[in-house]
Amino acid sequence: MKTVILEKPGRFVLTDTDSPTAPGPGEVLTKVRRIGICGTDIHAFRGDQPFFEYPRILGHELAVDVVEPGPEVGNLKTGDLCAVEPYLNCGNCIACRAGKSNCCTRLLVPGVHVDGGMREFMLLPANKLHLSGRLSADQLALVEPLGIGFHAVGRANPQPGESVLIIGAGPIGLGVVAFALLRCCRVLVTDVRAERLAFCREHFPEIHTIQAGENALSGIQNACNGELPSIVFDATGNRRSMENAVSLTASGGRLVFVGLVLGEISFNDPEFHRKELTLLASRNARGNEYPAIITHIEKGEVDTAPWVTHRASMSSLPDIFADWVAPESRIIKGMLEV
Ligand SMILES: [Zn+2]
Ligand SMILES: [Zn+2]
């Protein structure tokens, strides 16, 4: 079967690999239909993803068709189109026992820690496939990145009328925006990139966009009746942004780090203490959140169609990827068809 392998930083190759064997109990043989490209893939390509092992088959934002359900798989049949929850958890550790499959101590993410979906066929656990009878393959491939935002919003649990600031308007930040709006919050977004703010204004006309930088604080206060937002999500993965986010959060508020930075961060403890902030990490999403995300898309409450700015066949990836990730490409979401 056709397979794209990231051999080493900067080098994708299109090759042939053996098709998977027949599915075992609880497994499903699937045909990969769509693969979304995200920051993790870009970091792996650039070689700045620490502890990343090469060669690796990337691809974790997946829509797949069921080809053959294995024994003991009752809920899926041939032809079913599904989103993939790419978080293979152990089921036994302290996090799994508490229902926190997203932060399993032995978590394996296909496309990151083990081989992912840039190939024609894949064996996947049936319990990681989330069916929709109505969504397109594109929509199902975007459930995973949307899930990051859905889970992050759930961590903060905003109440109607609260002011929410999202720092960073990439695909993850856009997901946070979409689900914060569904909670009837006043939503503010900042980003250093003006074109990303313009994209937000076009697709979410009810939000406030504020250029990141020196005047951001006054812009934020102006949008919040002179106060600060009671919830701040940082989706930048930028150390300085995350450190500064403490000063943008209202007293008594919650600060959620959706992105991560590979290293240490620090902030002023008296300010953190004086405000009695709640600091939350947010990682991945949980399987039981997938049906809710799919329902929101089915109802048209979240529309990810405009996010797909770049599209190509999987086979052409080795030729086009360097162009996609060049700064001038203004990519939001790249989508591969298999
Ligand atoms: Zn991703
Ligand atoms: Zn576990």
* Per-residue pLDDT of the chain in tens (338 residues, 90 and over written 9): 999 999 999 999 999 999 999 999 999 999 999 999 998 999 999 998 777 899 999 999 999 999 999 999 988 999 999 999 999 999 999 999 999 999 999 999 999 999 999 999 999 999 999 999 999 999 999 999 999 999 999 999 999 999 999 999 999 999 999 999 999 889 999 999 999 999 999 999 999 999 999 899 999 999 999 999 999 999 999 999 999 999 999 999 999 999 988 889 999 999 999 999 999 999 999 999 999 999 999 999 999 989 999 999 999 999 999 999 888 888 899 999 99
66 close to 78: Cβ distance less than 8 angstroms: yes
Distance between CA atoms of 141 and 135, rounded to whole angstroms? Answer: 10
pLDDT given at position 83: 98
Distance between CA atoms of 169 and 175, rounded to whole angstroms? Answer: 9
pLDDT given at position 337: 98
| Plot region of 300 (φ>0 → left; ψ -120 to 50 → alpha; else → beta) | left
Distance between CA atoms of 245 and 311, rounded to whole angstroms? Answer: 34
Chain centre to alpha carbon of residue 303: 15
Ligand nearest to the CA of 104: 2
pLDDT given at position 330: 87
Q: Which residue has the tokens 């064996």?
A: 123
Q: Terminal CA-to-CA distance of the chain, rounded, Å?
A: 11
**Phi, psi (deg, nearest 5) at residue 37:** -105, 135
pLDDT given at position 254: 98
Cα of 89 vs centre of ligand 2, distance in Å, is 5
Ligand nearest to the CA of 108: 2
SS3 state of residue 152? helix
Cα of 237 vs centre of ligand 1, distance in Å, is 13
Cα of 103 vs centre of ligand 2, distance in Å, is 7
Q: How, if at all, do strands 163-167 and 186-191 pair?
A: parallel
Q: Which two tokens stand for residue 107?
A: 């978590």
Cα of 216 vs centre of ligand 1, distance in Å, is 28
pLDDT given at position 328: 86
Q: Which of 1, 84, 74 is nearest to 290 (CA)?
A: 84
All domains in the chain, ordered by first residue: 2-142+304-337 (3.90.180.10), 148-281 (3.40.50.720)
Is residue 21 classed exposed, middle or buried when 0-12, 13-18 and 19+ CB atoms within 10 A define those classes? Answer: exposed
Ligand nearest to the CA of 40: 1
Strand partners, 141: none
- Total residue length of the chain: 338
134 close to 63: Cβ distance less than 8 angstroms: no
